[in-house]
Structure 1
Amino acid sequence: MHKSYPSDLTPEQGELLEFLLPAAKRRGRPRTDLLLILNAIFYVLCEGCTWRGLPGDFPPWQTVYTYFRNWRKDGTWLAIHDQLYQWSRSDIDRPLSPSELIIDSQSVKTATMVHEDVGYDGAKKVKGRKRHLAVDTLGLSVRVLVTQASVPEREGGKQLLKRIHDMGQRVSRVHTIWVDGGYDGLPFFKWAIDTLRWVILVVLRPTEAKGFVLLRKRWKVERTFGWWNWCRRLSKDYEALVQTSETFLYLAMIRIMVRRLA
């Protein structure tokens, strides 16, 4: 018997996600119940446990991890994220492509056993990795990028914007990118105009302001960072590979979007 956990999907949410998953192979063993697999993956995301620490009422952790890893490597998770993103915009009568994006970065510590792609962010005094995030004006992620924490905002921003530009028609309406002061600089602005045909607008915190200040557009990406705090797996970077780190960030957004749509 499977217990009920706060991270579990409802039958409607599970049905929506299963519709987007690859079909079962014609040969081989019977497929494991995909709803249990999805619930186990979201349990790891939300509760922050290790794969080996999955409760016994889930399928064997090796099975769960194999599904997670295979769907990461073949692009299934990213395809699900992009499809749910388009449905989420369509559901509120928004064009499928956003017109404005907000980008920002977040430096997080890495777990003790993580040693690849680890750097030191001198500004934030953090040794670990840096999460670069681009969201639309709804706060929904468009693309994420995980790098060493030592990578400057402008360099990470270039890599992130290149990923977005490579999406083609799905971002055909984009014309403006909102950023904070960490991305300020004429070479970065010129690169964005000449290469991507996008305008960079900087929103700075008022010098006379004290305490919390709601900054135009920028508060939306900060809110998305706040949504990630509900997932304990994201409190640090526990992943050996940055590709796995990015997948968990997409999974956090998948969980938000599927709950809204279902």
Structure 2
Amino acid sequence: MYLTDLEETQWQVIKKILKPQERKRKYDLRKIWNAIFYIVKTGCQWRMLPSDFPSWELVYYYYRKWSSLGEFDLLLNNLREKVRVSMGQKAEASVGIMDSQSVRWGNNRSLNGVDGNKKVKGIKRHVVVDKNGFLIAVMVTIACVHDSKAAYLLARCLKELCCNIKVILADGGYRGDVSEKIKNTFGYLLDIIVSGDKVNGFKPIKKRWIVERTFSWFDNYRRLCRNYELTFDSAEEMVKLANIRMLLNKI
């Protein structure tokens, strides 16, 4: 029994959303999910998964299978809507907040770049969250890709998710022609919010600070503190799984 294990109510919510095929199995799918959440939380290697879980090969097989089938996306979207409704909000968000986070590399075989501004060698996570800080979309690039260049691709990810976003709040790093390009192509209004008070030091900007809080939530999951993933797809899936775990804790 680990602190990362699913409670019965949480497991029933996952089963209701994903509707797994009922058949005889050697290992209960709940144990597979427990193993995946253990890896995301503790940051351990797949091959070092404790022996009380099913074999790491089987856990990794299901991880890749569910990732390719879009199960994590489906679960994330449904959980986010469920939690929003329980908070008295509409199921779908109309306002998103966009930002990026540079993450140091932890795997020397993965693609990486250098963010010259933050002096970080590794990758960048580009995310869009709602007003609660719940993840809507995520895209991973090498760290040297500028925010304004990645914004268009991230907007395309949003469009593919068929979400109800109308306005996206962003910081000064997204200024330029990209705002008009996103509006004409996808219909999203990119609202750039820049702090005008530089005399009195740092002050959190209303609504914009929410995405920074989301990044701090990521640090509670050791798998996200550095980039240990070989591919960008896997790096994105780990972010989604961490957010799924956070939303499950709110049920």
| TM-score category, normalised to shorter length | over 0.9
What residue in structure 2 maps to residue 221 of structure 1?
A: 211
Distance in 2 between residues matched to 1:35 and 1:131, nearest whole Å: 29
Are the counterparts in 2 of residues 114 and 239 from structure 1 also a CA contact under 8 Å? no
Distance in 2 between residues matched to 1:121 and 1:31, nearest whole Å: 46
What residue in structure 1 maps to residue 99 of structure 2?
A: 104
Distance in 2 between residues matched to 1:259 and 1:121, nearest whole Å: 34
Given the alignment, which residue of 220, 230, 234 partners 2:224? 234
Given the alignment, which residue of 101, 120, 124 partners 2:114? 120
Distance in 1 between residues matched to 2:4 and 2:22, nearest whole Å: 28
Report percent identity of matched pairs: 34
Amino acid at match of 2:217: W
User: 2:126 matched to 1:132?
Assistant: yes
What residue in structure 1 maps to residue 243 of structure 2?
A: 253
What residue in structure 2 maps to residue 159 of structure 1?
A: 153
Distance in 2 between residues matched to 1:252 and 1:31, nearest whole Å: 27
**Alpha-carbon offset, residue 25 of structure 1:** 7.0
Q: How does 1:48-87 map to 2 (within 5 A)?
A: 48-87=43-82
What residue in structure 2 maps to residue 10 of structure 1?
A: 7
Amino acid at match of 1:241: T
Are the counterparts in 2 of residues 24 and 31 from structure 1 also a CA contact under 8 Å? no
**Alpha-carbon offset, residue 22 of structure 1:** 4.9
Amino acid at match of 1:130: K
What residue in structure 1 maps to residue 170 of structure 2?
A: 179
User: 2:181 matched to 1:191?
Assistant: yes
**Alpha-carbon offset, residue 93 of structure 1:** 2.7
Alpha-carbon distance change, 25 to 6 in structure 1, aligned in 2, over 3 angstroms: closer
Are the counterparts in 2 of residues 104 and 179 from structure 1 also a CA contact under 8 Å? yes
Distance in 2 between residues matched to 1:159 and 1:178, nearest whole Å: 16
Amino acid at match of 2:122: G
Given the alignment, which residue of 189, 200, 203 partners 2:193? 203
Q: Which moved more, 1:190-199 or 1:215-224?
A: 190-199
**Alpha-carbon offset, residue 86 of structure 1:** 1.6
**Alpha-carbon offset, residue 24 of structure 1:** 2.9
User: Aligned residues, how many?
Assistant: 250
Deviation sequence 1:135-192 (CA, Å, 0-9, x none): 0111111100001111110111111111112223x31xx322111111111x112112
Alpha-carbon distance change, 256 to 112 in structure 1, aligned in 2, over 3 angstroms: closer
Amino acid at match of 2:3: P
Are the counterparts in 2 of residues 203 and 216 from structure 1 also a CA contact under 8 Å? no
1:101 partner SS: strand
Calculate the TM-score normalised by the size of structure 1. Answer: 0.90
Amino acid at match of 2:161: M
What residue in structure 1 maps to residue 39 of structure 2?
A: 44
1:213 partner SS: coil
Distance in 2 between residues matched to 1:106 and 1:243, nearest whole Å: 16
Alpha-carbon distance change, 220 to 68 in structure 1, aligned in 2, over 3 angstroms: same
What residue in structure 2 maps to residue 147 of structure 1?
A: 141
Are the counterparts in 2 of residues 18 and 34 from structure 1 also a CA contact under 8 Å? no
Q: How does 1:86-97 map to 2 (within 5 A)?
A: 86-97=81-92
